[in-house]
Structure 1
Amino acid sequence: MLMSARARFYGLNLGIPLVCAVVVFLLFDMTRIDIAFSNLFYDPLHQVFALEHVRLFEKITHKWARIIPNWTGEAAIIGALLSFVWPIFKPQKRPGLLRLLEKTRLAAPLRFAHKHRRDFLYVVFAFSLSSGVIHYLKGHTSVYCPVETTQYAGKIEHKEWFQNFDLLKVAGDGRCWPGGHASGGFTMLALYFVARRYRWRHSKALMHGALALGFVYGTTRVLQGWHYMSHTFWAGIFVWLSCWLMALLFYGRAALEQPECQAKKSPLGERAKTLVS
């Protein structure tokens, strides 16, 4: 039974992303589906994507949208730094300092930060690893965005990521694969793994929300001609694996594979059910 639980854990968290990678590679990278999809939003007469130069759309979907992952990452850094204040100053052993912190209402957040230091550090490292992996892949595949290619009135020939991939050195100036903007939304998956550690019963909703955010971020860039749809899928796969591997390092498999806590049943509801039956 232990082996079965272990196999299920790795099957869900590692097996499914790898299967998705194979499907995306065969369905998108080995066909022209990406181009066919982008063609739906391209005006060949004026040689422009319909939403490419709409400033309001750009501001809302690209600039303002960054607030969510940016603020989350900044909050995690601040929380990680504050987590060291309580054990360094040890206010519980200094009545005067403790009274001051209680009076200024700083004691509660400092205790909270200290209690959840591992979680704050995990989010910081998960965000960093995800960003690092995406940055590395961008530089070592040198894929150009659709609007930069001859397919859409650009100057660079379109190539798939595996045609340019170089493991040890920068492959060129292209920086379009995987989707960087989409990866920003997907990094919120780190919060899902924190929730899994605590067996929060809404953790799956958090996961679905992070996935939806990444796909929304990625799709808006597809509509503007700055990415192909497959770039979003690849970003999601790499960010998931990065967050999951970092969660394994910080929390361990035993903590992450525990089932979610179920909602507590009302004693009154249980009593009513018994009377009816």
Structure 2
Amino acid sequence: MQTFVRHRFYWLNFGIPLLCAAVVFLAFDLTRIDIAFSNLFYDPVSQTFPIGKMQLFEKITHKWPRIIPNWTGEVAIIGALLSFLWGCVNAHKYPKFAAFLEKIKLAPALRFTARHRRDFLFVVFAFSLSTGVIHYLKSHTSVYCPVETTQYAGKIEHKDWYENFDLFNTAGEGRCWPGGHASGGFTMLALYFVARRYRWRHAKAVLYGSLALGMIYGTTRVFQGWHYMSHTFWAGIFIWLTCLLTALAFYGRARLDQPLRQTTVGVEDSAGGARVSAG
């Protein structure tokens, strides 16, 4: 039974994204679906993506949304640093200092960060590794964005990522595959694994919210001509795998595979006052 549960965890968490990768490769990279979708937002008369010229749209969908992953990463870094600070506070050796921290209400926050040090460090590492993976893939595939290619009045010939891929060397100047902006949204998947560690009943909401955020980030860039739709899918696949491997290193499979806690509601039986649980 334990072997089945372990294999089921790996089949779901690795199998589904790898299956998605195969589908994206066959359905998008080997066809012209990407171009057909981008054509819907391209004006051949002006030879531009009209939405890409809207400054307000650019701010709302590209610049402002960066706040979410940026602030999350910054909070994780601060939390990780503070978690080590609490370890230096010895209440027996420095009772006045400890009392001062209690008085200004800083001690509870420091205790919280110390208690969740592994989680803060996990988020820091997951964000850093995800960013590193995306930057590696960008520089080693040298894919140019649609607006930079001759397909859309640019100067560079369009090539798919597998045509340029170089494992050890920089492939060229292109930096469009996978989607960088989409990956910023998908990095919030790290919070899902923290929620899974604690079996939080709303963990799936964090999962779906992170996926939706990445898709929104990526799709709006497609509207502007700065990415193809498949770039968003690839970003999500690579970020998921990176966060999953990092979570396995920090927490282990057994902890991540525990069932989520359910809400227990006490209901009094009208006859005998017995309580039953609904979850």
TM-score, normalisation: structure 2? 0.96
Equivalent residues in 2 for 1:37-56, closer than 5 Å: 37-56=37-56
Give the whole-Å Cα distance in 2 for the aligned partners of 1:254 and 1:239.
21
Instruction: Tell me the residue number matched to 1:228.
Output: 228
Instruction: Tell me the residue number matched to 1:82.
Output: 82
Letter in 1 for 2:264: K
Give how far 1:201 is off: 0.5
Instruction: Tell me the residue number matched to 2:95.
Output: 95
The answer on 1:167 being equivalent to 2:167 is yes
Deviations 1:108-156 (CA, angstroms, capped at 9, x unpaired): 1000000000000000000001000000000000000000000000000
Give how far 1:90 is off: 2.0
TM-score, normalisation: structure 1? 0.96
Equivalent residues in 2 for 1:172-183, closer than 5 Å: 172-183=172-183
Deviations 1:173-209 (CA, angstroms, capped at 9, x unpaired): 0000000000000000000000000000000000000
Give the whole-Å Cα distance in 1 for the aligned partners of 2:133 and 2:198.
27
Equivalent residues in 2 for 1:13-92, closer than 5 Å: 13-91=13-91
Evaluate the alpha carbon distance shift between residue 209 and residue 151 of structure 1 in structure 2; reply closer, same or farther with a 3 A threshold.
Answer: same
Instruction: Tell me the residue number matched to 1:109.
Output: 109
Q: Name the SS for the 1:46 alignment partner.
A: coil
Contact 2:266 2:275 in 1 (8 A): no
Letter in 1 for 2:180: G
Q: Which segments of 5 or more consecutive residues in structure 1 lack a partner in the other structure?
A: none
Instruction: Tell me the residue number matched to 1:265.
Output: 265
Evaluate the alpha carbon distance shift between residue 167 and residue 64 of structure 1 in structure 2; reply closer, same or farther with a 3 A threshold.
Answer: same
Give how far 1:93 is off: 4.6
Q: Name the SS for the 1:266 alignment partner.
A: strand
Q: Count residues in correspondence.
A: 274
Give how far 1:53 is off: 1.0
Give the whole-Å Cα distance in 2 for the aligned partners of 1:175 and 1:84.
37
Instruction: Tell me the residue number matched to 2:148.
Output: 148
Letter in 2 for 1:182: A
Structure 1: which 4+ aligned runs deviate by more than 6 Å? none
Instruction: Tell me the residue number matched to 2:200.
Output: 200
Give the whole-Å Cα distance in 2 for the aligned partners of 1:113 and 1:119.
9
Instruction: Tell me the residue number matched to 1:255.
Output: 255
Contact 2:219 2:229 in 1 (8 A): yes
Deviations 1:67-126 (CA, angstroms, capped at 9, x unpaired): 000000000000000000111122355321121001111001000000000000000000
Give the whole-Å Cα distance in 1 for the aligned partners of 2:23 and 2:210.
21
Give how far 1:172 is off: 0.2
Contact 2:138 2:176 in 1 (8 A): yes
Letter in 2 for 1:18: L
Give the whole-Å Cα distance in 1 for the aligned partners of 2:91 and 2:165.
54
Instruction: Tell me the residue number matched to 1:125.
Output: 125
Give how far 1:273 is off: 8.3
Q: Which segments of 5 or more consecutive residues in structure 2 lack a partner in the other structure?
A: none
Deviations 1:206-260 (CA, angstroms, capped at 9, x unpaired): 0000000000000000000000000000000000000000000000011000000
Give the whole-Å Cα distance in 2 for the aligned partners of 1:210 and 1:134.
17
Give the whole-Å Cα distance in 2 for the aligned partners of 1:154 and 1:118.
47
Give how far 1:268 is off: 3.1
| Identical residues among aligned pairs (%) | 71
Give the whole-Å Cα distance in 1 for the aligned partners of 2:204 and 2:92.
38
Q: Name the SS for the 1:112 alignment partner.
A: helix
